[in-house]
Amino acid sequence: MSDIEAHAKQLGRQTPMPDSPEAAQLDRVPNPHADTDYVARFTAPEFTSLCPVTGQPDFATLVIDYVPDRWLVESKSLKLYLGAFRNHGAFHEDCTVGIGRRLAGLLEPRWLRIGGYWYPRGGIPIDVFWQTGAPLPNVWLPDQGVAPYRGRG
């Protein structure tokens, strides 16, 4: 069994959408370039969760940047984890910060940030940002690329 197979339990298998973010399994795989500082980015432009008060859907673009150490997040498991929020009721802040903390706990990266760019609820856009600490001075950190709200879309 390879290192990837040992750590990516969902890769290459039919995997149903998890019922909730808590039930979702996030997999990690060994970083083949653990001796190098670089930024890996995941952008989820169609993230969806539910308002915990009204049950109505909320939509966001999530941008996750991290400088890996020994581990990379396996992208299929990340996609399933993020998809599990579709039936999950939580405020924007809880979703964004909770995702960042779960990834930081799993990956133990050198650095991680998440930007949640939410479409308006009640006429007010709510953007949420979280990071594990100061960015590393020796990595190129591009702008997250999501414009301030002006009727996004």
Binding site per annotation, positions for substrate: 73-75, 92-93
In one-letter notation, the amino acid at residue 77 is S
Has 51 been annotated as catalytic?
Answer: yes
State the Cα–Cα distance between residues 112 and 52, nearest whole angstrom: 27
CA distances from 131 to 28, 54, 59, 99 (A): 19, 29, 21, 11
Q: Residue for token digits 């979703």? A: 95
Has 143 been annotated as catalytic?
Answer: no
Alpha-carbon dihedral angle through residues 146, 148, 150, 151, given to the nearest 10 degrees: 40
Catalytic residue among 19, 27, 35, 58: 58
Catalytic residue among 19, 27, 35, 51: 51
Q: 49 near 89, Cβ under 8 Å?
A: yes
Residues carrying an active site annotation: 51, 58
